[in-house]
Structure 1
Amino acid sequence: MGMSVTITTASEDDAEQILKLQYLCYQREAELYGDYGIEPLTQTLDALRAELAEGCVLVARLGAEVVGSVRGAVDTDGTARIDKLIVHPRLQRHGLGGRLLRAIEDRLAAERDAKRFRLFTGHRSEGNLRLYRKLGYTQTGTERVSQRVSLIHLEKPAATPATYATSA
């Protein structure tokens, strides 16, 4: 096969590739909901650079190409909010989304003392919901954000350090 995908911490040099990939990946969501004004499609490069400076951003690379990314931040009560999990369409359905999600969970628990993980997705995003449930997330609520879109909120507790040691 050749190259394998590696997951590393994103740098400011990755910002443009992440933003382009984000734009590509969220086209499907925008089409699904009939809303091309969603935040991932309107986010600016400066706003993304601010996220890179403040939060935890991981990228998946195939050689020099960024083919996936995920972001997370932990608030003062230990709640990690995971956001914008993206995988290039040509690499979807091969386990990379799950690898990225587990990597950000591990990083936020180990380095930022996350006690629980929270994320959300649109109510029609069945693939996302399937992945999150498979990885232990349970639905905690639904938020109607427009006539077309409701967000499904999901959460799971962070594993204990002993759990991380045995799952490696």
Structure 2
Amino acid sequence: MSEAELYSDFHLLPLTETLDEIESEFSKHLFLKAIMNGVIIGAVRAYRQGDTCYVGRLVVHPKFQRQGIGTRLIEEVEKIFEDCTRFEIFTGHKSIRNINLYKKLGYKEFQVKVVSEHLQYIYMEKTKERTPCKVNNCI
């Protein structure tokens, strides 16, 4: 909701996505959630394509923001997809807190896409060197 308010657009996909649409992504995406006292207070999705892990839909309940939950969720995705050499995430151009978080985690802007006259997506990536193989005959 905070992003929708920021952009004055309450038709953003996370707000309009149906339960069936979300459930269909379970087979393609990893879903992680942060839970406190039995209540989901944060979540993130990710999937791998080639050597890239695409991170998306990072959300943290407003009462729990700025407590490291988003950071921990992204770091957990990076651990799970540790064999990826590239991680990609995007956010809207007005989402300064998101952009600053991603920068703090080592992500750098590499592309801006104009979606409408009121919205631009800022694409950010984090790359790492491939770890040399320590086993004979590996590819």
User: Same fold, TM exceeding 0.5?
Assistant: yes
- 1:96 alignment partner in structure 2: 69
Displacement after TM superposition at 1:35 (Å): 1.0
Q: Is the 1:58–1:100 contact (alpha carbons within 8 Å) kept by the matching residues of 2? A: yes
Query: Which AA in structure 2 matches 1:32?
Result: L
Structure with higher helix content:
1
Tell me the SS of whatever aligns to 1:145. strand
| Match for residue 49 of structure 1 among 15, 23, 47 | 23
Q: Is the 1:144–1:150 contact (alpha carbons within 8 Å) kept by the matching residues of 2? A: yes
Displacement after TM superposition at 1:47 (Å): 1.0
Q: Give unpaired runs (5+ residues) of structure 2.
A: 133-139
Deviations 1:81-123 (A, max 9, x none): 10000111110001111001100111122xxx32210010000
| Match for residue 67 of structure 1 among 38, 41, 50 | 41
1:102, 1:127 → 2: CA distance?
Answer: 17
2:101, 2:88 → 1: CA distance?
Answer: 14
Query: Which AA in structure 2 matches 1:106?
Result: K
Query: Which AA in structure 1 matches 2:13?
Result: E
1:161, 1:121 → 2: CA distance?
Answer: 29
Q: Choose 1 or 2 for highest CA Rg.
A: 2
Say if 2:111 is the partner of 1:141: yes
Aligned residue runs from structure 1 range 14-163, under 5 A? 27-75=1-49, 77-109=50-82, 113-158=83-128
2:81, 2:31 → 1: CA distance?
Answer: 10
Q: Give unpaired runs (5+ residues) of structure 1.
A: 1-26, 163-168
Tell me the SS of whatever aligns to 1:132. helix
Tell me the SS of whatever aligns to 2:56. strand
- 1:21 alignment partner in structure 2: none
Tell me the SS of whatever aligns to 1:124. coil
Structure-1-length-normalised TM-score: 0.74
Deviations 1:148-167 (A, max 9, x none): 100000000146669xxxxx
Structure with higher strand content:
2
Query: Which AA in structure 2 matches 1:58?
Result: L
Displacement after TM superposition at 1:31 (Å): 1.1
